[in-house]
Structure 1
Amino acid sequence: MFKKILLAIITIASINFSQTIHDLIQPINLSQDQPTIVMVSDIFYSEDYNVEFTPSKNVNASYNSSTMQLSLTPKSDFSGIELISFKHNGEVYQLPVKLVKSQKYLFTYKPQDGEKQVNLFGQFNSWDRQNLPMKDINGDGILEIEIPLDPGRYEYKFYVDGREVVDPANSDKVPNGMGDFNSLRIIEELAKDKMFLHVLGSNNANDGLKLNFYFENADRSNMVNKESLIALFDNKKFPSELINIDGREITLTIKGKMLTGNHTVRLAVNRMGKHTNIQTIQIHDGVIAGKSGVHTLKDNIIYSIMIDRFSNGDISNDNPVKHDSL
């Protein structure tokens, strides 16, 4: 009888162990104007993928269990970071998704007599001459197209009836290295968009280990509240009651069972459609990684060696290719 009970306990323990997701679920970058489709097996490893996703406020999540594909479709007005909840073997986990929405910029071209087909192409579409056709949308004789662009430097041209043409309305040009010029457009990053989350440090208190952060941004009117935080303990939401905010300082308290074992804490701030960097802190039995004396694979330095010459010990093994170009 005792052996049967022991066997049952071991079986239950092994089942519970297999239900735990050990992989740290990484954020998924969403596409701005179309669904993002990912394999669930690329998100985390498990012996089975019987999962149930719950759509969030701003992102619709649709899971096809037969193909194991997850489709994520953001609302048109969404940008920033969001958490998608999903249930796997009775446990609720969080999938971080983020969308950095690019500002759309207008390009225009007034065709000359006889010019019919005009396409925009440049560094923003890998110089593809075909996939950005321009159209006269409002019937004023001006061809136009709007495309999303991140801050940066972009060279471009118009492809007019098989000819490459610089933008006649833009005097900014640079040599293209082939005896011609490319038009140049520079998208500046707005100072008010810059945000950063700093790690201030940690301290031990009677109620646990405290992790301290500071939210910095150029717009001083952007304050922090709990709703604007994306806080994770491993792959689950960080308990709200263990989060304290004082102005721009954020404190996460780790206590009780959270102090046992290896864990990862992640934090980011979501404000006005923008988000900060994600700060990641690893903890070993209540001690910050690097101070705990625990050595993990993340502490290793991996070197790759590539041989570019060697001593040919037996030329009879050679099988040289004979070609007049070699």
Structure 2
Amino acid sequence: MRPHLAAAPPPSVRVRAPGKVNLSLRVGPVQEDGFHPLATIFQAVALFEDVTATQVAPGAGVSLTVDGPQAGLVPLDATNLAWRAADLLAQHTGVPADVALHVTKGVPVAGGMAGGSADAAAALVACDALWDTGVSRSELAMLAAELGSDVPFPLMGHTAVGTGRGQLLTPAMTRGEFHWAFAVQAEGLSTPRVFAAYDELTGGTGPAPDPAMDSALMSALRAGDPIALGAALHNDLQEAALTLRPHLAEVLDVAQEAGALGAMVSGSGPTVAALGRSRRHALAIAATWTARGVSDSVWCATAPAHGARVVAPGPALR
């Protein structure tokens, strides 16, 4: 009697990409194209999105499933950034857009921490490997910028200065490890609304953003000095976010009461990021937020973290 032979699983690739915190975000007045010029310093944090790309039958198209925290808030159609990334890579390389994508969430949804952008970056790398399209990282970065201003950074990871709309990246030198706590709200904040509120507050005027304004912050990163880094954190959008969500002021106050070295709204919000002296201190800040009931969930992470990379190729791709 012949032994039963199970079918080999289809080839797949799993890629991990990080969320981010904006250590500084400086915003210029809106331009004719509708965008605001930015000067920002991104830092990747060890909260990760995993995207698995699996081979499917020719003509099957793209499909998407999601699990993990807040998975029910993630769209499962062509509006999803990971799905759009697969489509864009297929168009760019001329291969059929046939792939099953699975996202495992590890970054808060709609929290200003670029979880969706991390999904897109991971999908680009995963599909490139699965389809063997051989696209260079620099080309992937250009495709990432077409998907969104925040998408190129999760490809790079670590710490970087972003200019233009945030998509033009220069690596930044850092030393040591930093410990973050994040207070996350269940209800997100619309990024366009935050920018509109910023325009109202500033009257649509102001200086062009300049990375040189963050020299103290860059020195703190090079020295690995969390105290100096906490003192140098900056976000031009914070006041606008607070006008739309006044409750966030209490979240910031509680972090300061817990001894945070610095606390700010992360990006366009509504997540609040607080820098701790140590891993234990970051956990204590998070516990204080929970005890005071000022956030819907709390997360802790170290930084900087690596950029998008393959963590589990399928058997046919080893």
Structure 2-normalised TM-score? 0.25
| Higher RCO (CA-CA < 8 Å; seq separation 6+) | 2
Higher strand share: 1
Return the index of the structure with the highest Cα Rg. 1
Structure 1-normalised TM-score? 0.25
Higher helix share: 2
